[in-house]
Amino acid sequence: MLINFNQQFRLGQMNSILLSIILLPILEIYLLIKIGSQIGALFTILLIFSTAIIGIYYAKYEGLNTLKSGFVSLSKNEIPTFEILSGAAIAFAALLLIIPGFLSDVFGFLIIFPITRKFIFSYFDTKFSKRKFKKDKFIDGEFEDIEDDNDRKI
């Protein structure tokens, strides 16, 4: 049975997604046990709740700032693409901060801070900007609308 490259790539991508779905909770549980054994169960639970509460309030603050910046861009007749991406990233960071665990909290706080969010956006921008289309891959042409009652139908 032959599998072409696209199918192999999709299978490899599926395997990495499945592997991350399995490994991330295991890593979160490991960190909870390790940190809990160092500082105690009560302080671990308080730390998880405090990071969630602080993160949600900071996400609200950053979300409102992003919304204001988006309205300023719209008033200047500019498309607020950075603000739209920032809003989605802030929502994802808030979700990561709500999920109990220290690894998800670290990623959530990295995404929620504007400085690190700009670094993350610039990384993905340089990674995906290499896939731009070349002009020679497009075919230029003309078209003509032909009405139904015309005999020149193709």
108 belongs to a structural domain: yes
- pLDDT value for 92: 94
DSSP 59: H
- pLDDT value for 1: 47
106 belongs to a structural domain: yes
In the chain, how many H helices and how many E strands? 5, 0
Whole domain around residue 27: which residue ranges? Answer: 8-130
- pLDDT value for 135: 54
Contact 117, 86 (CB under 8 A): yes
The residue type of 126 is T
List per-block mean pLDDT (blocks of 10 residues) for the chain, which spans 154 residues: 51 71 91 94 93 93 94 92 92 93 93 92 81 60 70 54
**Structure token pair of residue 128:** 């995906």
22 belongs to a structural domain: yes
- pLDDT value for 112: 93
2 belongs to a structural domain: no
20 belongs to a structural domain: yes
Round to whole Å and give the CA distance between 119 and 117. 5
18 belongs to a structural domain: yes
55 belongs to a structural domain: yes
137 belongs to a structural domain: no
- pLDDT value for 19: 83
Domains in the chain, number: 1
